[in-house]
Structure 1
């Protein structure tokens, strides 16, 4: 949960730097769980608008808008951590294959040492004093 809050609180729209796998995947996990809970609440209380396939949940829609920017930012920082440009997110425009490529990149370990987006976050945390 700390990683999720770190992304929301400290790096809301920060597309610079690098993000470790743990930061990215914890944000993704917590965000998915929150979306599932909100969808369940919408279904239970009828908080959906629209008809048929255009039906949208009010709570999950607002939540999706709230985490859109930090989700993009942490994804770009994760790509930076593997030594790739954030422009790789455009791979999502290629159906299925783009998502598979991005999943692979997000699963890769950090690029060792510093790269053009900054120092390795693993090294920073190892040298940081305990709070």
Structure 2
């Protein structure tokens, strides 16, 4: 959801840049979309590391993005894996609470 919403915001800001004349054909970006991209770099890294942890992989796997094309493809495939039930980084965030565990029941 983070990537989807971020992509939509980025597209909208690019359209605003084009409409207001802030878009540069030379650089292929505009002022507002560039500022937004800089603002979401750290949250994007955090979300990506969290997703890698959910699949029981180290966050260092993000360094594969430095390999042109192949690295991005590997990261995409790994992030599409289902979350592990229990791994060294914590429990599965999508796991359903069991009905035998009274601490997780909300009344």
**The TM-score by the shorter chain falls in which range?**
0.7 to 0.9
CA distance in 2, matches of 1:128, 1:102: 36
Q: Whose strand proportion is higher, 1 or 2? A: 2
- SS of residue paired to 1:121: coil
Which structure has the higher relative contact order (CA within 8 Å, separation 6+)?
Answer: 1
Could you list the per-position Cα deviations for residues 55-109 of structure 1 after superposition, in whole angstroms to 9, with x for gaps in the alignment? 5311101111111111100000000000100000000111111000000011110
Q: Aligned with 1:122: secondary structure?
A: coil
Q: Secondary structure at the match of 2:90?
A: coil
Q: What is the rounded CA distance, in whole Å, between the counterparts of 1:72 and 1:128 in structure 2?
A: 33
What is the TM-score normalised by the length of structure 2? 0.85
In structure 1, list runs of 5 or more residues that go unmatched: 1-25
RMSD of equivalent CA atoms: 1.8
Q: Which residue of 1 aligns with 2:34?
A: 61
Q: CA deviation at 1:129?
A: 3.4
Partner residue, 2:18: 43
Preserved contact between residue 14 and residue 23 of structure 2 (Cα < 8 Å):
no
Greater fraction helix: 1
Distance of aligned partners of 1:31 and 1:128 in 2 relative to their CA distance in 1, 3 Å threshold: farther
Distance in 2 separating the partners of 1:78 and 1:67: 16
Max Rg structure: 2
**Cα deviation, residue 128, structure 1:** 6.3
Residue equivalent to 1:77: 50
- Return the TM-score normalized by structure 1: 0.70
**Aligned positions of 1:14-53 closer than 5 A:** 26-48=1-23, 52=26
